[in-house]
A and B are shown apart, each in its own frame.
Chain A
Amino acid sequence: GDSVTQMEGPVTLSEEAFLTINCTYTATGYPSLFWYVQYPGEGLQLLLKATKADDKGSNKGFEATYRKETTSFHLEKGSVQVSDSAVYFCALGDYGGATNKLIFGTGTLLAVQP
């Protein structure tokens, strides 16, 4: 079935460092791809999304490109801040398929130190 694999955390970076969180997926159809962020004690918020191959989603300095050839949707940011410390979830939207849901990766904890 469809699935999402993202890199294990925690990822610890210094402020202003470059961030990459890897995400790969397996899907039989043509899913939409999402990144969600969860700040401590809060629910998940949509960070960015891409609905088809080669689309780039971007928001708050974060970017991710839907790569069908490598089945990837890696999250990047050029210069992280302490306020970016959170758990990041990659997700695949299988709404046209049998399961009709968002499938989440296990999450990657990002800790940014001043």
Chain B
Amino acid sequence: EAQVTQNPRYLITVTGKKLTVTCSQNMNHEYMSWYRQDPGLGLRQIYYSMNVEVTDKGDVPEGYKVSRKEKRNFPLILESPSPNQTSLYFCASRRSTGELFFGEGSRLTVL
């Protein structure tokens, strides 16, 4: 089954404690992206990757890092989380026809 898998789905952490949200896709897509969803703001792109070892900033990259060492994986790293990073995060990969496949989301709370 084609899917994008994110972990963890829910996480509560404290300010400054490094965390990683993993993302894996099994569709051999080259393009992957991270979005955050906040009430009244819709989805905003954090980072994207066109292929292995090729990443670039989206609209709201501050406070985040990513890496793309393998085609299937695109982890999101919060080196020193802050409360304003409390959000719902989505990883997505893109079909050649342009539409995105989304994971089920990771709800992060930073205290």
Binding site for B on A (CB under 8 A): 32, 34, 36, 42-46, 49, 51, 89, 93, 95, 99-102, 104-107
Contacts and interface: CB of A to CB of B under 8 A. Distances in A.
Contact of B33 (A32, A51, A101, A105): A101
A45 B102 contact: yes
B99 A89 contact: no
Contact of A104 (B4, B40, B43, B50): B43
Interface of B: 4, 33, 35, 40-45, 48, 50, 56, 58, 90, 92, 98-100, 102-105
Contacts, number: 47
Contacts of B102: 36, 43-45
Most B C-beta atoms less than 10 A away, residue of A42, A89, A93, A101: A101
Identify the 7 closest CB pairs spanning chains A and B, nearest first.
A43-B102, A106-B42, A104-B43, A44-B102, A104-B42, A43-B104, A46-B99
Contacts of B98: 32, 34, 49, 51, 93, 95
B97 to A, nearest CB: 8
A101 B90 contact: no
A101 B32 CA distance: 10
Nearest to B58: A101
Contacts of B41: 106
